[in-house]
Amino acid sequence: MALAEPCRAELIAVGTEIVIGQIHNGHAREISQELAKHGMYVYYHSAVGDNEARIIETFSIASRRSNAVIATGGLGPTQDDLTKEALAKFLGRRLVLSQEALAEVESYFKQRGRPMPEQNRKQALVIEGGEWIPNPNGTAPGQYVFDNGVHYFLLPGPPLEMRPMLQNYVIPRLVDHFGGTRKLVSRILHFCGIGESDVDARIADLTCKDNPTVAPYAGEGEMVLRITASGPTEEACWELIRPVEDELRRRFAPFIYGVDDDSLASVVLRRLQETGSTLAVAESCTGGMLAEMITDVPGSSAAFVGGVVAYDNRVKASVVGVRAETLATHGAVSEPTARELAEGVREKLGATYGIGVTGIAGPGGGTPEKPVGLVYVGLAGPRGSRVYELRLRGSRAQIRIRSCKQALWRLWQELNGDSDVGRDKTGRGEKG
């Protein structure tokens, strides 16, 4: 068997509502993910409004650089629905009525006890030489045409219509043409406590390779490395990925907290459950965000007891038990307050671990001694207490998110018995 050329896919979303920002182009991500699962790469996404000339131009560009083009939207019955018409014009082909497609559109209305409006007839037109794709969930059949080395698929915009047509028709057709030849597998490693540039400086020997590729990208308060391999089988891909993952773990062991769909909250919760431990949190500047990140994980109630949002100083004192003297002497944003928040919430809520967060998220409230971005994270547990001082930059939202991530990260280290690592000048730890 001759080796097929690899799939170079391109996605086109058609609709003025997308380019003016009224709705969001969710199909791009979803279709890319589906194709990747089957070893096929998407190289371009584009979106264009309901304008025939611009849709034609977009198909023309795609035809020169891609061999699989999946367009979504613009297959409805109105004058604004132009995708099929534009592709037919671009390919110089006629639109012909398909009796079979017409019967499907008519049956859709019949099932609802309504006559088919005349304008829906145009949905049964098929590009000459192509095929129509059944749509069990709507009136707009899809289209498939192969022309000059390029496979074109047109699918309707509504997600509940598009999805089964992608699964049942487009993917099998593409796998038939391009699949079988190569699989694509990605492994994601999640890092915390180390900057993107620090990681990058130590992986130049890995990022320069072609297979597997290693690519870093930064999240908010953490970062991710993606290892992607292609090979004839999934197992062959994993054989390429494993040694690279092992090597990355050798270099960055203390900073890698999870893989694939893990989050800091999910790995912390898992470890708490494994060790039969529980957690309670007392938050000032993060105002509930830390508890929210934790309870966002389904099943979090197994290890998360609860929390106190101690915004007002009286709540810090009355509910969590921070001493009035501590607040008066050191202030709400201080190491002793963070410690007493952690210890107090641990005791009052009866948890194995307590976290206390207090700081200045801005935009107001900063002073020369205590600037915006100064945050203390207290951690109390069976082995005593620690407080970490953070100096964060950014907007109110960034400072809050990063404070939460740092708190979870410090607890994760504590749970792994290596809470001495990862302390740099931005977060010093002290024994309580």
Within residues 203-262, the interface with a second copy by CB under 8 A covers: 204, 207-208, 215-218, 220, 226, 228
Q: Select from 14, 28, 56, 341 the one that contacts a second copy (CB under 8 A).
A: 28
Distance of alpha carbon 22 from alpha carbon 227, whole angstroms:
35
Distance of alpha carbon 55 from alpha carbon 166, whole angstroms:
21
Find the binding residues for a second copy in span 75-94 (CB under 8 A): 76-80
Q: What is the residue-wise DSSP string for 221-277?
A: SSEEEEEEEEESSHHHHHHHHHHHHHHHHHHHGGGEEEETT--HHHHHHHHHHHTT-
Question: What is the smallest separation between the CB atom of 365 and a second copy, expressed in angstroms?
Answer: 8
Q: Select from 70, 82, 102, 308 the one that contacts a second copy (CB under 8 A).
A: 308
Q: What's the first-to-final CA gap in the chain, in angstroms?
A: 69
Determine if 53 is a binding residue for a second copy (CB under 8 A): no
Q: Hey, how many other C-beta atoms are within 10 angstroms of the C-beta on 318? A: 12
- When the beta carbons of 146 and 335 are compared against a second copy, the nearer one is 335
Do the beta carbons of residue 188 and residue 259 sit within 8 Å? Answer: yes
Distance of alpha carbon 340 from alpha carbon 261, whole angstroms:
34
Determine if 430 is a binding residue for a second copy (CB under 8 A): no
Q: Select from 234, 397, 418, 430 the one that contacts a second copy (CB under 8 A).
A: 397
Select from 91-99, 144-152, 167-175, 288-296 the region that touches a second copy (CB under 8 A): 288-296
Question: What is the smallest separation between the CB atom of 48 and a second copy, expressed in angstroms?
Answer: 6
Number of residues this chain uses to bind a second copy (CB under 8 A): 124
Cα 312–314–318 angle (5° rounding)? 130
Select from 31-39, 175-183, 234-242, 414-422 the region that touches a second copy (CB under 8 A): 31-39
- When the beta carbons of 321 and 432 are compared against a second copy, the nearer one is 321
The pairing of strands 223-231 and 213-218 is antiparallel
Distance of alpha carbon 364 from alpha carbon 322, whole angstroms:
24
Q: For residue 367, which phi and psi values (nearest 5 degrees)?
A: -135, 170
Determine if 62 is a binding residue for a second copy (CB under 8 A): no
CA 199 to centroid of chain Cα atoms: 21
Determine if 363 is a binding residue for a second copy (CB under 8 A): yes
Find the binding residues for a second copy in span 312-341 (CB under 8 A): 312, 314-315, 318-319
Distance of alpha carbon 185 from alpha carbon 188, whole angstroms:
10
Q: Select from 209, 249, 251, 391 the one that contacts a second copy (CB under 8 A).
A: 391
- Dihedral sign of CA atoms 105, 106, 111, 117 in order: positive
Q: Hey, how many other C-beta atoms are within 10 angstroms of the C-beta on 169? A: 18
Q: Select from 4, 6, 38, 44 the one that contacts a second copy (CB under 8 A).
A: 44
Determine if 172 is a binding residue for a second copy (CB under 8 A): no
CA 84 to centroid of chain Cα atoms: 32
- When the beta carbons of 43 and 243 are compared against a second copy, the nearer one is 43
Determine if 148 is a binding residue for a second copy (CB under 8 A): no
Task: With both helix axes pointing from N to C terminus, report the angle between 52-65 and 83-91 in degrees, rounded to the nearest 10.
Answer: 60
Select from 90-98, 125-133, 166-174, 346-354 the region that touches a second copy (CB under 8 A): 346-354
Determine if 277 is a binding residue for a second copy (CB under 8 A): no
Select from 173-181, 279-287, 333-341, 411-419 the region that touches a second copy (CB under 8 A): 279-287
Question: What is the smallest separation between the CB atom of 422 and a second copy, expressed in angstroms?
Answer: 14
Distance of alpha carbon 133 from alpha carbon 153, whole angstroms:
9
Residue 305 tokens read as 């007891």
- When the beta carbons of 100 and 424 are compared against a second copy, the nearer one is 424
Q: Hey, how many other C-beta atoms are within 10 angstroms of the C-beta on 260? A: 9
Determine if 114 is a binding residue for a second copy (CB under 8 A): yes
